[in-house]
Amino acid sequence: AQSVTQLGSHVSVSEGALVLLRCNYSSSVPPYLFWYVQYPNQGLQLLLKYTSAATLVKGINGFEAEFKKSETSFHLTKPSAHMSDAAEYFCAVSAGGYNKLIFGAGTRLAVHP
Partner 1 sequence: DAGVIQSPRHEVTEMGQEVTLRCKPISGHDYLFWYRQTMMRGLELLIYFNNNVPIDDSGMPEDRFSAKMPNASFSTLKIQPSEPRDSAVYFCASSFPPGQRNTIYFGEGSWLTVV
- DSSP result, the chain: --EEEEE-SEEEEETTS-EEEEEEEE-SSPEEEEEEEE-TTS-EEEEEEE-SS-SEEE-GGG-EEEEETTTTEEEEEESS--GGG-EEEEEEEEESSSS--EE---EEEEEE-
- With respect to partner 1, which residue has the nearer C-beta, 79 or 96? 96
54 binds partner 1 (CB under 8 A): no
- With respect to partner 1, which residue has the nearer C-beta, 10 or 100? 100
Q: How far is the CB of 7 from partner 1 (least distance, A)?
A: 15
46 binds partner 1 (CB under 8 A): yes
Residue 90 and residue 17: Cα distance in Å, rounded? 20
7 binds partner 1 (CB under 8 A): no
The type of residue at 27 is S
Among 5, 7, 17, 51, binds partner 1 (CB under 8 A): 51
Q: How far is the CB of 18 from partner 1 (least distance, A)?
A: 26
- With respect to partner 1, which residue has the nearer C-beta, 28 or 99? 99
Q: Kindly list the residues in this chain that would bind partner 1 in the complex (CB under 8 A).
A: 36, 41-46, 49, 51-53, 90, 96-106
